[in-house]
């Protein structure tokens, strides 16, 4: 303390440490305190969400099943040239029978068949059918096996079968990702799927397009309503807010089934139109089980997610600005477009990103009102998870979808900043 007055050294803080050091320490302490506050949640989310999702997404490249089920065959196939157009030699067939006998015993072969069937239709039945007969063979005494196997099923006499096994024998594969963009692994490198199996890219496109349309529809509908809510006196706007919150509080399933009741051909909308005579009885509108149905229902379901952020932004826009503009001679339109609208853009941005991200991952509503033409990529993911059991492809599709969303999130963060998102 005493020497602070006559030293020429660095500036000192009250306790005698150099000010720079003291500031750095306090900054460090501040950082530490902030991190300590964040830590519990961060650890919780990391462990119970990020890690499991990562593990799930890892399935999109994981492919040890071929090697685990047919270890000897995979090894024997190494020396076979899959591009030669000739069948593999006898040692491959023998190794295959050895592997299959074990696999049938452990009930693994049907799983492998299902796995390979994702790549080449027909493999599942080939493995199942052959499994029952190969079970009876003795690998030590019954050789040679080449003709016997071809006898059991002529699929084993097809070079393509062995090509598929060899191509997909790698433990880490890009096969699922290729499948996800309508391509496939072949001995000659990645190639396009046959014409009639190309559906996923189209579905991605449709998902993005419809999510955009839904977001656009939400902006159009939410803007006037939010404006009205933000300009009306509080007691009126709070009452009207109930009308916005009520659908929001009502179960998603209920709202979706309500839309089903409304949209179907014998539904409320069509019945009313027919009763009013606006539509002939035999020309009822088809507004369900197609894209229109999905768009209408999802616009309704996601509308509150647009209104709430817009409303909270618009509430903060001081009315004096528009009045000032008007008093200086601006027309109504100029006032709105040059003064009010620019200030409301953060609300539009926040609502749009929220609606778009939610829309892109939706699956229950499209499933119920979308028919076959109005479904999203998420429906495909759900189908592969719960019905075709192709979890690898589901994970690959999910990874791509997640990447799209993350890019959007990043762009949004750059342009608007995630801090500016407000929900009510």
We find the least distance from the C-beta atom of residue 292 to another protein, in angstroms, to be 15
Nearer to another protein, 44 or 321 (CB): 44
We find the least distance from the C-beta atom of residue 29 to another protein, in angstroms, to be 11
We find the least distance from the C-beta atom of residue 242 to another protein, in angstroms, to be 5
Nearer to another protein, 97 or 353 (CB): 353
We find the least distance from the C-beta atom of residue 138 to another protein, in angstroms, to be 22
We find the least distance from the C-beta atom of residue 40 to another protein, in angstroms, to be 6
Nearer to another protein, 244 or 348 (CB): 244
We find the least distance from the C-beta atom of residue 95 to another protein, in angstroms, to be 23
196-203, Cβ contacts within 8 angstroms, sequence gap of 24 or more: 200/377, 200/380, 200/397, 203/375, 203/376, 203/377, 203/380
Nearer to another protein, 4 or 19 (CB): 19
* Three-class secondary structure of residue 172 per DSSP: strand
We find the least distance from the C-beta atom of residue 15 to another protein, in angstroms, to be 18
Nearer to another protein, 30 or 64 (CB): 30
Nearer to another protein, 93 or 311 (CB): 311
Nearer to another protein, 64 or 386 (CB): 386
3-state helix, strand, coil in the chain (%, to 5): 70, 0, 25
Nearer to another protein, 91 or 399 (CB): 399
We find the least distance from the C-beta atom of residue 195 to another protein, in angstroms, to be 10
Helix (H) or strand (E) holding 192: strand 191-192
């Amino acid at each position: 303390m005493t020497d602070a007055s006559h030293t020429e050294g660095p500036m000192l803080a009250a306790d005698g440490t150099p000010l720079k050091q003291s500031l750095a320490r306090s900054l460090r302490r501040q950082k530490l305190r902030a991190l300590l506050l964040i830590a519990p949640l961060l650890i919780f989310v990391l462990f119970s969400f990020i890690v499991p999702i990562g593990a799930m997404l890892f399935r999109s490249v994981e492919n040890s099943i071929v090697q685990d089920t047919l270890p000897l065959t995979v090894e024997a196939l190494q020396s076979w040239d899959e591009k030669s157009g000739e069948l593999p030699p006898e040692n491959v067939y023998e190794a295959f029978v050895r592997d299959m006998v074990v696999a049938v015993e452990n009930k693994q072969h049907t799983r492998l068949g299902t796995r390979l069937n994702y790549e080449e239709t027909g493999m599942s039945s080939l493995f199942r059918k052959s499994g029952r007969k190969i079970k009876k063979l003795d690998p030590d005494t019954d050789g040679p096996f080449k003709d016997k196997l071809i006898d059991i099923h002529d699929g084993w006499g097809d070079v393509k079968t062995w090509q598929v096994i060899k191509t997909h024998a790698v433990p880490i594969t890009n096969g699922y990702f290729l499948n996800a963009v309508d391509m496939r692994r072949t001995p000659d490198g990645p190639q396009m799927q046959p014409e009639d199996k190309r559906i996923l890219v189209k579905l991605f496109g449709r998902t993005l397009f419809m999510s955009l349309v839904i977001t656009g529809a939400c902006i159009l509908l939410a803007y006037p309503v939010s404006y009205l809510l933000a300009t009306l006196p509080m007691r009126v706007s709070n009452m009207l807010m109930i009308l916005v919150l009520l659908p929001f509080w009502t179960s998603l399933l209920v709202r979706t089934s309500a839309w089903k009741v409304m949209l179907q051909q014998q539904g409320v909308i069509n019945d009313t139109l027919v009763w009013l005579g606006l539509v002939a009885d035999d020309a009822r509108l088809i507004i369900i089980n197609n894209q229109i149905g999905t768009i209408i229902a999802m616009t309704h379901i996601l509308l509150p997610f647009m209104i709430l952020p817009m409303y909270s932004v618009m509430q903060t826009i001081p009315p004096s600005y528009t009045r000032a503009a008007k008093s200086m001679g601006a027309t109504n339109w100029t006032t709105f477009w040059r003064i009010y609208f620019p200030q409301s853009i953060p609300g539009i941005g926040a609502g749009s990103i929220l609606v778009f991200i939610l829309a892109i991952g939706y699956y229950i509503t499209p499933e119920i009102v979308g028919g076959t033409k109005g479904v999203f990529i998420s429906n495909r993911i759900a189908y592969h998870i719960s019905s075709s059991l192709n979890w690898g492809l589901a994970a690959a599709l999910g990874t791509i979808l997640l990447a799209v969303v993350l890019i959007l999130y990043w762009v949004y963060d750059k342009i608007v900043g995630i801090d500016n998102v407000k929900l009510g």
